[in-house]
Amino acid sequence: MLTLFLVALASATLLPGGSEVWLARLWCTGEPAMLLWAVASLGNILGSLVNVALGRYARQFQDRRWFPVSRHGLERAERWYRRIGEWSLLVSWAPVIGDPLTVLAGVLQLPWWRAILLITLAKAVRYALVLWLAEAWLAPLCR
């Protein structure tokens, strides 16, 4: 279970990872689905909140030459985020785009309670769906 938690946490940060495979593997071994769902969700939510915190912290360095985004790029991202809104965090579960969305939420100072609520909803539904798919497709292969 600790491995699942750590993989889920790491895969929610900007590090690569595939927590769904770990979740399905542990489900196949007979681990309780609700426990797996809770552990994976918690790890992934906390990983995304690390991204939000990093975004909040990084904002103070926006005027430094080495900052990875130009002022123009940051302004463009802010316009996009204001237009799409905080609801974009509902796709924070998605590969490739999810992690940058959580960092952007931090950079743009989204209130913590909103970030937690939206990220929790997205991640919990994601892992519930993974477990449902495991039950539907993997059950004959695992048990």
Selection from 115, 97, 123, 100 nearest residue 44 by Cα: 123
pLDDT digits 0-9 by tens, 85-100 = 899 999 999 888 898 8
pTM of the model: 0.86
How far are the Cα atoms of 21, 22, 128 from residue 138, in angstroms, in the given order? Answer: 12, 13, 15
Selection from 134, 127, 128, 129 nearest residue 19 by Cα: 127
Q: What is the rounded distance in angstroms from the CA atom of residue 42 to the CA atom of residue 7?
A: 11
pLDDT digits 0-9 by tens, 54-80 = 999 987 888 888 777 788 888 888 888
CA 128, 132, 133: angle at the middle one, nearest 5? Answer: 120
Yes or no: say if 51 and 13 are a contact pair by the CB < 8 Å rule: yes
Work out the average pLDDT over 41-57.
94
Per the model's pLDDT, the better-predicted residue between 77 and 52 turns out to be 52
Selection from 131, 139, 104, 133 nearest residue 118 by Cα: 104
pLDDT digits 0-9 by tens, 4-40 = 898 888 888 766 667 888 899 999 999 999 999 999 9
